[in-house]
Structure 1
């Protein structure tokens, strides 16, 4: 009996332990939802103890709903449905990142963060929310969950819903307090897809994308748990899900940090395994070079690690094609009265043209034409050719260069020859002449500055900054500082601000490019803006020229994501003998710069009396807009007044007017940025030039 009592006690204890354990497993970890900041509008929000529901309509008046589980033990997204039928169900956000150490300052490009002795740290998300906060922002709704951690980063997971759109933005808003952090991140969504299960633990998920050559592919997922890397055109991948489909896509330009090359390394991924499908975006950790700078995470800044999902009630092909409309299918739209101009390419064009013959069409020409570029300014002899040669070889190469550019120019495409000279004046700088000019980058003591030549006309030899600038003035050339304050122009133009040549109007300005990357900013290219603003506060009149600064390209490259263009206000594309018309307009700043998704065909900045600035602009945009900003300087400091554009919608044409109080303003410019970080912005105008 005694033994039996012990056995009974043991069994009772085991039963009690099992019951408690089971209760622990089944007990919910509730997420408290606060919807007090939600206002009445086109997006409805409701909450119960177990679910948070968002309801809205898209541009086709289809009714959508997204249900979030308020239980940490369940998948975050219970469902996303159209017309009451699920497209997505039981979905969980997916994030991981790699971190390294930034050296050389936040503007450094010649950097490879994993190369430090401490190497690279890799982290996967740990997401355990206890609270959800919902608020209305304009006519949009933001849903934020706390408890998002990823190694040294911590913060919130945010979902943003836009009225009249089936586009949902997922953003991990994270910060770190560690110094000198550079990072990359991957993001996505893992969804239940029981309908894709097949016998033998197989899946038959339909994955759709455009391959690197632009051909539509529809594949069935192979067996395996791993993530599959895809080299896709347009940076987007789609899947058939539920009664519809979903597309994963990054911000077109914000996600891809600056590189010297646009090779397509595979920026999309998918997975399909045991009833779950994942779609997402990724950043390869290196490109087999020592120059691969990653993105900046200054301490305390809120890094917006985002991804977009476009939902659709149709096929994966249909929803994918709709997603491509956000970048005009990677095309810079034509605007009457403007020419699209993309400078700063290192194609080693002349060597190839001479080696292949007159019938050769360089691959960059159809590549640039296919994305809407009317004119390109290339810069040969950067690491190719013999720019330092002081014999006839240099002259022959220049002659071949000019002839080859003329041959590739026609009434639809203009190829302008330039050089990134990198000698004499300081830093890296671009030199362009309005006609063929033959010059040598040094001269001996007994040689003249200019000598007649029976074949080339006049041959110039320069040795000093005075020589160099005399050549620019005599031949009506133009110069600008390429990639200011970074790369080979680190410290420039700051070191030459007081020189006569930099202050000359023919040294018309500085380059702008989305470099470096910092996802805490709503805009791109902070370095370029700071440079031109600082220079203009000194009383100089300098403008920006959007530049690309990349090497050879092919039809399979991921080109558009690294691009910006200058929309130059001239009536038509000039021919090769008259491209000075384009250069003159660029030097005047008679242009705006765009990433393609936002256009600003009309802008006017004028004095509104006293110290007020009056701004009028017209925009067209694909993504909803985020902010506009009027930036102005008083000769000492740069000031910004920001305007929230959180009631704008996708695929809109809008007109805006603002009056800004700007005491003692001397110059001003205006910019507009969308929710994906793309934008358009004017060049500065000066107060004394306003009537």
Structure 2
């Protein structure tokens, strides 16, 4: 099956799908103009690892529970199997959707969906699956996997916003802490970026750590034979309350990732990925201020009152400003304060908090206690 779609100024994308079982689904993914196509990647499969555990539906708020510890209960990870069956092509607005039946995992079944976006060198790959088992919580890892090394090098932006490149691709897999949630494979004719939905992919946690959300290399988790690169979740999160995602009986779960194509270099491609999230910042709206709330930084108790040294502008202030946030409402004493006294200790905590909020606020940035 050959699918072409318009990709804007870049011309057209071309996807050659092999429907024979045992052969890579993506025979070739290409980008080009006026019939001159460049192969970005070839002979690769979209692969998924499903991890399923047990949701606590009894002790608290049913499916709305946050205070669950799913990874501390029995759970199991599986490679999702894909036996290609019937295929269909449909449209939804400006999107073209290729659906292929035959996706299966223990207690789950469904289909593979490839969504092409008219006017963009962008597509989404999703294992759309459902279960009839109650009280199920899930996570998934995903990516592009080939029997042989499918790209010449791997690139990413590190957490300090510096591009990194690896051309000596190890025999084992590497989990990498990145900025912008993106990993890029490069070949002589171009590059392909793999990244998740920026909010949908991340389950709620108390702590906002960078948990190495991308991977590359061989034999990922001993479940995906061959070379690949893609996105991942940490099963244990911040080791506090780790609820994963709900998978109620009969609901369709979209285990998905995006791919963006380019005939250029990874740095330029990452710049295109960043456009989808305004460079990971909030775009200013005239007449409005951008506010975010409920942050347990505990800067007052763990740094200031603990007598530790601190700078004129702590790192968390820089993070909020770089995100384009104008007003931050703190929740400092979530677990470290003394709301019941003694009074002299509680009043000192509050006075210190208010003083720090005043000190760290400026003309276009307000820190609320």
TM-score of the superposition, structure 2-length normalised?
0.91
CA 1:96–1:336: 2 relative to 1, 3 Å:
same
What SS is found at the alignment partner of 2:290? Answer: strand
Contact 1:221–1:272 at 8 Å: present in 2 too? no
- The answer to whether 1:122 aligns with 2:77 is yes
Choose from 281, 301, 306 the match for 1:331.
281
Choose from 243, 246, 249 the match for 1:293.
243
Alignment match, 2:341: 389
Task: Using the TM superposition, give the Cα deviation of residue 227 of structure 1 relative to its aligned residue in structure 2, in angstroms.
Answer: 2.4
Task: Using the TM superposition, give the Cα deviation of residue 68 of structure 1 relative to its aligned residue in structure 2, in angstroms.
Answer: 0.7
Alignment match, 2:266: 316
Task: Using the TM superposition, give the Cα deviation of residue 73 of structure 1 relative to its aligned residue in structure 2, in angstroms.
Answer: 2.8
Choose from 238, 253, 263 the match for 1:303.
253
Alignment match, 2:304: 353
Mapped to 2, the partners of 1:276 and 1:394 lie a distance apart of 58
Alignment match, 2:70: 113
Could you give the per-residue CA deviations for residues 599-629 of structure 1, whole angstroms, max 9, x where no partner exists?
A: xxxxxxxxxxxxxxxxxxxxxxxxxxxxxxx
Mapped to 2, the partners of 1:141 and 1:171 lie a distance apart of 14
Choose from 82, 88, 100 the match for 2:41.
88
CA 1:389–1:298: 2 relative to 1, 3 Å:
same
CA 1:292–1:303: 2 relative to 1, 3 Å:
same
Task: Using the TM superposition, give the Cα deviation of residue 287 of structure 1 relative to its aligned residue in structure 2, in angstroms.
Answer: 3.0
CA 1:193–1:85: 2 relative to 1, 3 Å:
farther
CA 1:400–1:357: 2 relative to 1, 3 Å:
farther
| Structure having the higher Rg | 1
Mapped to 2, the partners of 1:111 and 1:63 lie a distance apart of 46
- The answer to whether 1:97 aligns with 2:50 is yes
Mapped to 2, the partners of 1:239 and 1:61 lie a distance apart of 19
- The answer to whether 1:416 aligns with 2:368 is yes
CA 1:287–1:67: 2 relative to 1, 3 Å:
same
What SS is found at the alignment partner of 2:51? Answer: strand
- The answer to whether 1:189 aligns with 2:138 is no
Choose from 169, 172, 185 the match for 2:124.
169
Contact 1:143–1:160 at 8 Å: present in 2 too? yes
Alignment match, 2:184: 238
What SS is found at the alignment partner of 1:70? Answer: coil
Aligned length: 354
Mapped to 2, the partners of 1:139 and 1:248 lie a distance apart of 22
Mapped to 2, the partners of 1:249 and 1:223 lie a distance apart of 21
- Aligned-pair RMSD on alpha carbons? 1.9
Structure 2: gaps (5+ residues): 220-224
Choose from 344, 356, 360 the match for 1:404.
356
Mapped to 1, the partners of 2:240 and 2:349 lie a distance apart of 30
Mapped to 2, the partners of 1:290 and 1:356 lie a distance apart of 25
The residue correspondences of 1:545-564 to structure 2 (distance < 5 A) are none
CA 1:399–1:290: 2 relative to 1, 3 Å:
closer
Could you give the per-residue CA deviations for residues 412-450 of structure 1, whole angstroms, max 9, x where no partner exists?
A: 211011xxxxxxxxxxxxxxxxxxxxxxxxxxxxxxxxx
Mapped to 2, the partners of 1:244 and 1:276 lie a distance apart of 21
Alignment match, 1:77: 26
Contact 1:66–1:80 at 8 Å: present in 2 too? yes
Could you give the per-residue CA deviations for residues 149-188 of structure 1, whole angstroms, max 9, x where no partner exists?
A: 1222110000000110011100110000001000110111
Mapped to 1, the partners of 2:89 and 2:281 lie a distance apart of 36
Mapped to 1, the partners of 2:123 and 2:146 lie a distance apart of 15
Mapped to 2, the partners of 1:321 and 1:167 lie a distance apart of 14
What SS is found at the alignment partner of 2:237? Answer: coil
CA 1:302–1:358: 2 relative to 1, 3 Å:
closer
CA 1:406–1:195: 2 relative to 1, 3 Å:
closer
What SS is found at the alignment partner of 1:382? Answer: coil
Task: Using the TM superposition, give the Cα deviation of residue 358 of structure 1 relative to its aligned residue in structure 2, in angstroms.
Answer: 7.8
Mapped to 1, the partners of 2:77 and 2:72 lie a distance apart of 14
Q: Relative contact order (alpha carbons < 8 A, sep ≥ 6): 1 or 2 greater?
A: 2
Contact 1:124–1:151 at 8 Å: present in 2 too? no
More helix by share: 1
Alignment match, 1:666: none
TM-score of the superposition, structure 1-length normalised?
0.49
Mapped to 1, the partners of 2:345 and 2:150 lie a distance apart of 68
What SS is found at the alignment partner of 1:60? Answer: helix
